A and B are shown apart, each in its own frame.
Chain A
Amino acid sequence: MTKPSARIGVYICHCGTNIAGTINVAALREFAATLPGVIVARDYKYMCSDPGQELIKADIAQHGLERVVVAACSPHLHEHTFRTACEEAGLNPYLCHMVNIREHDSWVHSGEAATAKARDLLRAAVQRVAWNRPLERRSIPIRQSVLVVGGGIAGIHAALTLANAGKKVYLVEREPTIGGHMAMFDKTFPTLDCAACILTPKMTAVKDHPNITLWTYSEVIGVEGFVGDFKVRVRRKPRYVIEDLCVGCLECIEACVYKQPKFYDEFNQGLGKRKPIYIPFPQAVPQVVVIDPETCIEFKSGKCKKTCLEACGERQAIDFGQQETIETIEVGAIILATGYKAFDASRIPYYGYGVYPNVYTALEVERLINAAGPTGGELVLRDGRKPRSVGIVHCVGSRDEHTNRWCSRVCCMYSLKLAHLVKERTGAEVYNFYIDMRTPGKAFEEFYNRVAEEGVHFIRGKVADVYPAETDGRLILRAEDTLLGQVRKIPVDMVILATGLEPQADATEVRRLFNISCSSEGWFLERHPKLAPVNTFTDGIFLAGCCQGPKDIPDTVAQAGAAAAEAMQLLDTGSIELEPNTAYVLEEVCSGCKTCVGLCPYNAISFLPEKNVAQVNEALCKGCGTCVAACPSASIRQHLFEDEQIFEEVVGVLA
């Protein structure tokens, strides 16, 4: 192919001093003007500003520019801006090419080397842009439904917001009930609202909402497609109870051959017991029992009297033969609200969790003081005694380079809440051991003062050790009180570890499944920490709640609302324009070797046996280039990444 001649305009952005402070933009402009094909070269303080864009538009009209090169920041930020400016001036947007001389140059290099690199990058762009060809975007309709993954308060709020706006919502939760961590809490800080009182109406609303399809005990196992048109496969695990037939009378639980509950009760952190057939907690949604095949005699031996079946009677809701099913749904957007996992306190051996019976985690204490909990709301030690003194250790698994470096944001406040509740219920002396007291939310500091006035003790110092006293077996908390400047040893009956928040154990698998990014800690990564806090780098997938990072309930709900709004905005756009950088097969030279067919991650390539060629479905192609690189006879090419364009760029940068 002969090199096309084109009239090229080059625009160099100062980005204030971001670029011009490092790169000699005047010299770069003079250099650009000498490059073959360049008709006009300019530099300007802010190319992305309206006057900057006007410069380009005016030059297209006046000089008849056929190509535009903008040397500025990352295309991620302003490629759209400059392409649109070109389009408004009558130039096909794909004849505009950006050079990143900020993130790739001025921010990471200095001195003459930075200007030299800018020259190389600019030369490459000018050489490649001559080969650019006009391209047209394709438009596809957006499916008017949203998948919400995770049924904690974040997922519940997002689902209800969307459903109330008339959108079809699929809410998928892997536990047998929705409610998440919030359903386990007793009260919420700083207002001391009863968690269940404010949560359960929303849970019921989810169940009753005509626009919400609720699938509990279910997990997403496959995601295909793209923004506007995701195809999601969901595995619905067998609960051995037919959801539509179970009325939630719980008579089967009563009738179970196990007269007493004797198995580990997950919802109550193992502090209580449940039967093989159970409901996680009284207000569980849906009100459908579940059978645990690991403990049910019928599943283990097949010789159970099946008294539960008798109790269920004509309802016939129990089905021991139930199999898992795989459902496929099609949605336009996805909200991930997969939550967090509490830090495993046994990872810090010197706090004695799992060794000394009266060392508890905060979540366990939430269950103990909850009226629906295993003790009916009585805060008692393992031996049934009421504690007369309680020590609360802050920052367990937070702000510590041996465990997690981050602040979990909620522990100070929930520790204050627990201090208040413990004092209120038991009258015990309560000692809070903290590193810094972090109370930056609305009415948080006031709550701290209130708890302090109630007589809770505060000791600024990190607990170094928890060990039993030789005399009475109480637990001694040893810490350096950094305000007093001395080591203190305080004996207590009960230790509460304020465990921090961690990414879910399977966060990495979930991240891969949905093709989004994680921070190095494992929290799902938002597209921009300030300006796109609920978006991800994958269009059409949004984040809500603690899967993105530790946060309290108000922040979680606010974020869930924001995610719902973003999804709604997307859906209401109606259609979406797809980038035209798709792959295409040169059918006349394709040998039909099928190398590409199995490689496409989007299943966009099919093999046509009658023509013995491969074919790319442009609506499915995401332009990843896998097939282009793999095609052994170079019979697949890609718009915007044509061989000539790439080679000219390489030659230009090396010239």
Chain B
Amino acid sequence: MKPKLAFYWCASCGGCEEAVVDLAEKVLDVVAAVDIVFWPVALDFKRTDVEAMPDGSIAAAFINGAIRTSEQEEMAKLLRRKARIVVAFGACAQTGGVPGLANLYDRESLLRAVYSESPSTLNPEGTRPAPHYATNGAALELPVFWDRVRALGQVIPVDYSIPGCPPTPKLLADAVAALLTGSLPERGAVLAPDKALCEECPRRESKPDKLAITRFRRPHETLIETDRCLLAQGLLCLGPATRAGCEARCIQGNMPCTGCFGATSRVRDFGAKALSSIASLTGSNDEAEIIRILENIPDPVGTFYRYSLPAAPLPGKRPNRAGK
């Protein structure tokens, strides 16, 4: 009997699903080797189908997206019971991802912004989503919107992570191959190299021994040279702080690394580490001048914690205790 695989999505954009689809013709090899028993984005299975499976009957569940609602939490816990291996697939599942930046605000502020204050909202009754709603004798249940966004590993035990926003099809194919051949590493591992991106950067040779950045430039502010280290051009490239394994795709597209592969295993706080290293490259010893240079960086939290705020030691605004 072929091993069973499940794919599921939580708080995500769908990009990780695209990564699966991007296996292209390789997906046929995967389907030949495994049975996909659950994949809501592509195949029509219901939650009850999963509930009916014996515990531990799925070889591996690839779950992408962060955990924001009660439904996502329930599904994560259900798949944890049914699957022998759970893989956090992509940055949101691994460390909270872009949806995790919502942790800069509490739930009330978010709901108020979306249902009352945004310029395009017309909601004079102040209607808000409610978990229970009854009308004309029919009852409607909606998932509860938790106060916080959490990474998958903060909700259920996770066996492996595959980083990226989204992960590359190669990493997925390698992971499935390792699963089928029984060559997965020790549990808890991130299935990508444990060095920083500079290692595999095609522009590595052009990086100077000493960088002294006096002005950070955003990509639209400058004509970016295609063959020179982006940091040397004043672009905020997080490659030195970011795990390799993406084949430097953004760099090859002439865009700086934004850090979606997260930190190496030795770093506890990606944002703090990246900030510390970038700040050390400022080309001045004068405090006022350093501040001026760093003020070139718009939205520091959104820049340095773009993919990892919920998993950070300081994970955002303190949760509203009444919210959950």
Question: Are B264 and A633 within 8 A (Cβ)?
Answer: yes
For chain B, residues 174 to 224, give those with C-beta under 8 angstroms from any C-beta of chain A.
Answer: 194-199, 204, 207-212
Q: List 24 A-B contacts (CB under 8 A).
A: A586-B266, A591-B195, A591-B199, A591-B240, A591-B244, A593-B198, A594-B198, A594-B208, A598-B209, A607-B209, A630-B277, A630-B280, A631-B277, A632-B238, A632-B274, A633-B196, A633-B240, A633-B241, A633-B263, A633-B266, A633-B267, A634-B263, A634-B273, A647-B268
Question: Are B263 and A630 within 8 A (Cβ)?
Answer: no
A245 located at the interface, meaning its Cβ lies under 8 Å from any Cβ of chain B in the complex: no
Interface centre among B196, B207, B244 (most CB of A within 10 A): B196
B155 located at the interface, meaning its Cβ lies under 8 Å from any Cβ of chain A in the complex: no
Q: Separation in Å of the B135 CB from the closest CB of chain A?
A: 50
Binding site for A on B (CB under 8 A): 194-199, 204, 207-212, 238-241, 243-244, 263-264, 266-268, 273-274, 276-277, 280-281
Q: Separation in Å of the A615 CB from the closest CB of chain B?
A: 13
Main secondary structure on B side of the interface with A: loop
A626 located at the interface, meaning its Cβ lies under 8 Å from any Cβ of chain B in the complex: yes
Question: Are B264 and A593 within 8 A (Cβ)?
Answer: no
Binding site for B on A (CB under 8 A): 586, 589-595, 597-599, 607, 612, 626, 629-635, 643, 647
Known contacts A607-B209, A633-B264, A634-B273; A590 and B280 CB within 8 A of each other: no
Known contacts A626-B280, A632-B240, A632-B274; A591 and B196 CB within 8 A of each other: yes
Interface centre among A594, A597, A633 (most CB of B within 10 A): A633
Neighbouring B residues of A599 by C-beta, 8 Å: 280
Question: Are A591 and B198 within 8 A (Cβ)?
Answer: yes
Neighbouring A residues of B197 by C-beta, 8 Å: 591
Task: Give 11 new A-B contacts, CB below 8 A, not counting A589-B195, A612-B199, A633-B263.
Answer: A591-B199, A593-B239, A594-B210, A595-B211, A595-B240, A597-B210, A630-B277, A632-B196, A632-B241, A634-B266, A635-B264
Q: Separation in Å of the A610 CB from the closest CB of chain B?
A: 13
- C-alpha gap A612/B266 in the complex (Å): 19
Question: Are A632 and B207 within 8 A (Cβ)?
Answer: no
Question: Are A593 and B208 within 8 A (Cβ)?
Answer: no
Question: Are A592 and B198 within 8 A (Cβ)?
Answer: yes
Q: Separation in Å of the B50 CB from the closest CB of chain A?
A: 36
- C-alpha gap A394/B147 in the complex (Å): 73
The listed residue (A597, A632, A643, A647) touching B277 by CB distance below 8 A is A632
- C-alpha gap A635/B276 in the complex (Å): 14
Output the nearest chain A residue to B244 by Cβ-Cβ distance. A591
Question: Are A594 and B209 within 8 A (Cβ)?
Answer: yes
Q: Separation in Å of the B163 CB from the closest CB of chain A?
A: 14
Question: Are B266 and A589 within 8 A (Cβ)?
Answer: yes
Question: Are A589 and B277 within 8 A (Cβ)?
Answer: no
Neighbouring A residues of B211 by C-beta, 8 Å: 594-595, 598
- C-alpha gap A140/B119 in the complex (Å): 71
- C-alpha gap A626/B219 in the complex (Å): 29
Question: Are B264 and A589 within 8 A (Cβ)?
Answer: yes
Q: Separation in Å of the B197 CB from the closest CB of chain A?
A: 7
Output the nearest chain A residue to B204 by Cβ-Cβ distance. A592
Q: Separation in Å of the A533 CB from the closest CB of chain B?
A: 32
Output the nearest chain B residue to A637 by Cβ-Cβ distance. B266
Known contacts A589-B264, A594-B208, A598-B209; A632 and B273 CB within 8 A of each other: yes
